[in-house]
Structure 1
Amino acid sequence: MVEPYTDQWLQPVIARSPYEIKTTEMNVGGDPLRVVTSGYPETQGDTLREKYRFAQERLDQIRRALFLEPRGHQDMWGAITVEPDDKDADIAAFYLNANGYSPTCGHASIGLARFAVDAGLVKATSPETSVNIQLPCGLVRTHVEYDSETKASGRTHFTSIPSFLYEQDLEVNIPRIGKVVVDVSFGGIFFAITSSSQLGIDVCDSSIQDIKYVGVSITKATNDAIRVEHPTCQGTNLISGTIITDGKDSQDADSTTNICVYSSQGLIARAPCGSGVVARAALQVQKGLTDLNQPMTFKSRYGSSFVVEKTNVEGIEAVRIEVSGQGHYIGRNTFFSEENDEMGKVS
């Protein structure tokens, strides 16, 4: 066994780096979450949406350095926390991934809420701590299990922003497959949702390559077929991904499995996809497939699950969905760059 050693020899390397970024690494139902804890450049702007736009336009080289190879991978997600401008928010954040930026992410909200409690960003209370997270899409109210005696946090449940079925029974044409009927639903971002029975695949047993091809193709075809536009969230005008389900949407089913294929690059969710679960539950309620307040477990092909614990009506055109899941800590990182590293440089 190699004798223990210090990393003092690395300090001169880090000192010459254009940045030193520290992160806490989490796993939420199998999906990664990289929470940036220090070193991210200041995001300029008076509001969260201005800071979000500044990061997209001026700091994207940092996202690419942290979330693409060699430091990240195609399915990597992360969170940047900033000061909120919503008086009801405890923290504000925006989410990043290998493909770009996202105004919301369910698994990221589950993980970030637990991190906020443990890192002291909010005052911990037992048996549950409330963490209101301002996101570019709106305010997400989360609650984290907390035991004041053991100082241990646990599961998180969050209440979604108002979510709704946007377009029902839309027919699109998919190369190599033919005509497919999809629903378009909003759960913080827009998704196309369809059953695997139309596609000749199985959400659990088919190859990831086949699922990725179908998901990316449906997302593109649906964006080509209609232009979505959120009624109040300016700039939310794109279908971000496709949810492929096992077709178990009726109230007779107490559990169902789906897989999310996100973005034109085909990011594959290991978890059931928090925002996708919200969009799908909103669809189920508004199509009359399930009753309000009927719990249902949403599973991924990898064995993780989120639970829809409660739904309630927001007016007559939208619902709020309550979802629970568990985030776990898996590591810490310090990222930097050497000047002559062509593969790992910030550009």
Structure 2
Amino acid sequence: MSLSPIHYIDTHTAGEPTRVITGGFPDLGIGSASQRCAVMLSDHDSLRAGIVREPRGHEAMVGALLLESSLADCEAAVIFFNNVGVLGMCGHGAMGVIEALRHAGRVDVGKCKLETNAGVVEMQLHDDGEISLENVRSYRSASNCSVTLEGGDEVIGDIAWGGNWFFITESPGMTVEFTNVDALTDHACRIRDALREQGVTGPDGEEIDHIDLHQPLSGTEAAGTRSFVLCPGKQWDRSPCGTGTSATMACQHQRGQLDEGDRWTQVGVLGTSFVGSFRVVDGGIIPTIRGRSSMCGEGTLYFPPDDPFRHGID
């Protein structure tokens, strides 16, 4: 059976793409974003894969399925996903959604809310075109956590939530820059494999599927890091990573190295940056991340039944 055409708007945020699905996806019923996400995974997971995997997408692409929210104060509900599954939240993706909605004439300068799997986030489109995200509560769940890599090397890092689960540790003696992405990816994959094999999880058994390798910013007085982030699967984040910035600020605050209202700059491997700050709440922080998204294009995807790769190249 032929699938219905899928309508999309493509954006990128600081280099990382977001494919915003605006129409054509099968009906997921009513309920919260997380309830409809469960329907998407059980009934339409192959379509998820086909949208973002090659040949229609590519492995680093994040999808954002736009839905009507069940919450009256939200502009939309969004389910974020990538080549291997769904995401709790996605900072760069939320900014990309706002840029797509701006392009479609649905939002203007000002604030609005989005319902996500991880909770409601508040977005703001600024006069200069930049976009701010007030993220979900972020916190550190464990510090100085040790894992042993294959070969015997020990790595120590923090476990933190910023809308996704992160293991945050220092870069292994190499500069966090584009020329080193292959080596950084290999090291981050080894860490994630070790976490899985040694049973290191979030506090309720959640898989830690994002790895953040960082080094301090140099040649500047700004507080921040240059960070490489491995996403679920084996792709690295082209942006500085909004949920990773949130998790990192939570860790810095717990160490007493960052206070409410301080500015934090997170630079990604492409040299693009997000600027963050936060307010303290019970059990963590509420981060605000600011960045910029750009329009890339819009169009329609087709999935003919005789196409052997209609569900993507796995």
The answer, yes or no, to whether TM exceeds 0.5 is: yes
Kindly tell me the number of residue pairs found equivalent between the two proteins. Answer: 311
In the alignment, the residues of structure 1 paired with residue 178 and residue 297 of structure 2 have an alpha-carbon distance, to the nearest angstrom, of 31
Q: Output the aligned Cα RMSD.
A: 2.2
Is 1:228 the counterpart of 2:202? The answer is: yes
The aligned runs of 1:59-74 (5 Å cut-off) are 59-74=44-59
Is 1:117 the counterpart of 2:102? The answer is: yes
Listed as ranges, the gaps of 5+ residues in structure 1 are 1-15, 147-152, 231-235
Among 12, 32, 46, which residue is 1:27 paired with? Answer: 12
Map Cα deviations across residues 295-324 of structure 1 (whole Å, 9 max, x no partner). 12211121211111x311002x20011100
In the alignment, the residues of structure 2 paired with residue 255 and residue 319 of structure 1 have an alpha-carbon distance, to the nearest angstrom, of 17
Task: Tell me which amino acid in the other structure corresponds to 1:143.
Answer: Q
Which residue does the alignment assign to 1:322?
288
- For the structure 1 residues 253 and 346, does the alpha-carbon distance in structure 2 shift closer, same or farther, using more than 3 Å as the test? closer
**What SS does the aligned partner of 2:126 have?**
strand
The aligned runs of 1:35-184 (5 Å cut-off) are 35-122=20-107, 124=108, 128-146=109-127, 154-176=129-151, 178-184=153-159
| Identical-pair percentage | 23
Is 1:294 the counterpart of 2:262? The answer is: yes
- With structure 1 as the length reference, what TM-score do the two structures score? 0.84
The aligned runs of 1:232-251 (5 Å cut-off) are 237-247=206-216
Task: Tell me which amino acid in the other structure corresponds to 2:297.
Answer: G
Which residue does the alignment assign to 1:10?
none
In the alignment, the residues of structure 2 paired with residue 282 and residue 98 of structure 1 have an alpha-carbon distance, to the nearest angstrom, of 28
Task: Tell me which amino acid in the other structure corresponds to 1:46.
Answer: G
**What SS does the aligned partner of 1:212 have?**
helix
Q: Give the Å deviation of 1:345.
A: 5.4
Map Cα deviations across residues 204-263 of structure 1 (whole Å, 9 max, x no partner). 165322111111221232243423146xxxxx82212100001459x9643421010012
In the alignment, the residues of structure 1 paired with residue 210 and residue 133 of structure 2 have an alpha-carbon distance, to the nearest angstrom, of 21
Which residue does the alignment assign to 1:280?
248
Is 1:211 the counterpart of 2:193? The answer is: no
Among 158, 161, 165, which residue is 1:190 paired with? Answer: 165
Which residue does the alignment assign to 1:261?
230
**What SS does the aligned partner of 1:86 have?**
coil
Task: Tell me which amino acid in the other structure corresponds to 2:112.
Answer: V
Q: Give the Å deviation of 1:157.
A: 0.4
In the alignment, the residues of structure 2 paired with residue 282 and residue 156 of structure 1 have an alpha-carbon distance, to the nearest angstrom, of 21
In the alignment, the residues of structure 2 paired with residue 42 and residue 184 of structure 1 have an alpha-carbon distance, to the nearest angstrom, of 36
Higher relative contact order (CA 8 A, sep 6+): 2
In the alignment, the residues of structure 2 paired with residue 108 and residue 345 of structure 1 have an alpha-carbon distance, to the nearest angstrom, of 22
Task: Tell me which amino acid in the other structure corresponds to 1:28.
Answer: T
Task: Tell me which amino acid in the other structure corresponds to 2:75.
Answer: D
- For the structure 1 residues 222 and 289, does the alpha-carbon distance in structure 2 shift closer, same or farther, using more than 3 Å as the test? farther
Q: Give the Å deviation of 1:70.
A: 0.7
Task: Tell me which amino acid in the other structure corresponds to 1:226.
Answer: V
Structure 2 contact 55–312 (Cα < 8 Å) conserved: no
Map Cα deviations across residues 14-38 of structure 1 (whole Å, 9 max, x no partner). xx94321111110100000001111
Structure 2 contact 250–284 (Cα < 8 Å) conserved: yes
In the alignment, the residues of structure 2 paired with residue 177 and residue 214 of structure 1 have an alpha-carbon distance, to the nearest angstrom, of 13
In the alignment, the residues of structure 1 paired with residue 255 and residue 83 of structure 2 have an alpha-carbon distance, to the nearest angstrom, of 34
Q: Give the Å deviation of 1:112.
A: 0.8
- With structure 2 as the length reference, what TM-score do the two structures score? 0.92
Map Cα deviations across residues 122-169 of structure 1 (whole Å, 9 max, x no partner). 4x3xxx3112011011110110024xxxxxx71100111111011000
Structure 1 contact 261–269 (Cα < 8 Å) conserved: yes
Which residue does the alignment assign to 1:6?
none
Map Cα deviations across residues 258-298 of structure 1 (whole Å, 9 max, x no partner). 010012x2211011011101100111111112222111221
